[in-house]
């Protein structure tokens, strides 16, 4: 089939590459000329495992193209995917200006039947606005062209997006026209062979499903972090509690890992946007507000532990930091807990020596002139000249470190572990003090004897 994808960011690139991989002819359109030039030169502007190989292979096969030509894109595909960003507005609501700009462009160039697919994460009712924008542009042209607008939200995890797209848990299709449902089923047939993963529903329910999924996962994370903070006060071990409750199949083990809060491009933005949508509908979503409040507070926990350990005297201290991305297998630092920690340390007069397997370039872009940040070429290089070690991201290479080297490298052999990677007794037996999240008295800076 012939597809056009507007937006060559994370969702657009993964969608385009995976659709081309199954034999479709895909044209990706973006107004960013520099990005399109990089893509046409074989440079992938984001890090996602396996994505560069998919893009290279399908460009060579002639199934994947990148262009700034909007008219070419509208003329090309029966399916017109909208996969542009919906950044938060000042009040937390999703800013739809990019989505509606694409809709307007489609309306200005459409000449025959098209299925417009909202792939971006958008508030309930957005499909109606997209439809109205396209129709307005058609009316201005004096044209009468049939089109449908459907909701087909993405459920891609950064770091595992290729697998998520190629082997989806579910494919949500929200339509008001049975014909478009069948056409989308045909499009997704290669990803749907073992059993039917397509779940059809009305457009508004599909739009809400995406927000509901992310808000539910964010709620689980905040709830576990709330329990972790209680565990510290009760001298209980949240990791034991996690295993105990996760064994209940009604709860399960997914997304119940305590830590320093969620980040990234989805959960923070989507929880705020859903809460704002609720407010606009005349409903106070108290639970969503609490989820965000707990998460914002949790991002400060590592700093609070370091601050307390030194009785507030951080001036001149140096902290080694392992992990900058908001989670492993990505270079994304949007709303990452590491940023909250670093900025708090700088405000307190401390310096940071940081290492991340993938996010170093992103850190340079975000903090180009920060004199108190040293970006190091390895985890152990970050320890050189540091007083203590803090861990903000659970990268695989941090899970089994050389503890004697850590001890010998640090001026003050202390680990502040924001991801509960190690067993407290084991670390302390090796001569290091260890603060984690919710691991009972060993997580507290005011430890009882």
Give the active site residues.
Answer: 266
- Secondary structure in 3-state letters for 316-365: CCEEEEECCCCCCCCCCCCCCHHHHHHHHHHHCCCEEEEECCCCHHHHHH
Main-chain dihedrals φ then ψ at residue 318, nearest 5 degrees = -125, 130
Q: Tell me the C-alpha distance between 127 and 129, whole Å.
A: 5
Pairwise CA distance, residues 390 & 437, whole Å: 12
> How far apart (Å, rounded) are the C-alpha atoms in residues 70 and 66?
11
Residue 95: closest CA among 273, 264, 332 = 273
Return the sign of the alpha-carbon dihedral for residues 149, 150, 155, 161.
negative
Of 359, 369, 296, 290, which is closest to residue 330 (Cα–Cα)? Answer: 359
141 neighbors 74 (Cβ within 8 angstroms): no
CB 29 within 8 A of CB 76: no
The residues near 266 (Cβ < 8 Å, ≥ 6 apart) are 121, 214
Give the gyration radius of the chain's Cα atoms: 24
What does residue 342 show for φ and ψ, rounded to 5 degrees? -60, -45
Residue 323 sits at φ, ψ, to 5 deg, of 100, 125
Query: What's the angle, vertex CA 338, arms to CA 334 and CA 342, rounded to 5?
Result: 115
User: What is the DSSP secondary structure assignment for residue 81, as one 8-state letter?
Assistant: E
């Amino acid at each position: 089939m012939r597809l056009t994808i507007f937006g060559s960011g994370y969702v657009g690139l993964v969608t385009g590459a995976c659709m081309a991989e199954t034999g479709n002819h895909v044209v990706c359109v973006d107004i960013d000329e520099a990005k399109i030039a990089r893509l046409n030169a074989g440079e992938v502007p984001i890090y996602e495992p396996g994505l560069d190989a998919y893009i290279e292979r399908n460009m060579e096969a002639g199934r994947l193209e990148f262009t700034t030509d909007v008219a070419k894109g509208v003329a090309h595909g029966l399916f017109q995917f909208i996969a542009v960003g919906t950044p938060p507005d000042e009040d937390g609501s999703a800013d739809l200006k990019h989505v509606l700009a694409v809709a307007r462009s489609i309306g200005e160039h459409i000449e025959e039947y098209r299925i417009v697919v909202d792939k971006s994460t958008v508030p309930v009712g957005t499909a109606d606005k997209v439809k109205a924008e396209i129709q307005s542009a058609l009316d201005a042209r004096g044209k009468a062209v049939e089109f449908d607008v459907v909701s087909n939200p993405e459920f891609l995890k950064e770091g595992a997006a290729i697998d998520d797209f190629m082997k989806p848990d579910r494919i949500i299709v929200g339509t008001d026209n049975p014909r478009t449902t069948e056409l989308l089923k045909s499009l997704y047939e290669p990803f749907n062979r073992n059993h039917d993963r397509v779940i059809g529903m009305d457009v508004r329910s599909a739009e809400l499903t995406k927000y509901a999924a992310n808000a539910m996962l964010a709620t689980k994370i905040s709830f576990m972090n709330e329990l972790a903070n209680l565990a510290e006060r009760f001298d209980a071990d949240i990791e034991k509690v996690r295993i105990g409750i996760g064994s209940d199949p009604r709860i399960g083990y997914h997304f119940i890992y305590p830590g320093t809060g969620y980040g990234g491009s989805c959960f923070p933005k989507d929880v705020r946007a859903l809460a704002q949508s609720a407010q606009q509908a005349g409903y106070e979503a108290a639970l969503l507000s609490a989820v965000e409040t707990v998460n914002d507070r949790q991002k400060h926990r590592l700093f609070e532990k370091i601050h307390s350990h030194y009785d507030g005297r951080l001036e001149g201290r140096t902290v080694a930091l392992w992990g900058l991305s908001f989670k492993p297998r990505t270079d994304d630092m949007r709303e990452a807990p590491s940023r909250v920690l670093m900025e708090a340390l700088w405000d307190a007069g401390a310096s940071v020596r940081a290492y991340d397997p993938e996010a170093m370039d992103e850190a340079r872009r975000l903090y180009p002139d920060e004199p108190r940040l040293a970006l190091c070429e390895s985890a152990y290089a970050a320890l050189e000249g540091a007083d203590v070690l803090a861990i903000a991201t659970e990268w695989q290479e941090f899970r089994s470190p050389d503890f004697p080297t850590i001890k010998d490298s640090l001026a003050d052999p202390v680990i502040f572990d924001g991801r509960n990677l190690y067993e407290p007794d084991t670390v302390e037996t090796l001569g290091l003090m260890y603060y984690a999240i919710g691991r009972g008295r060993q997580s507290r800076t005011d430890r009882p004897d």
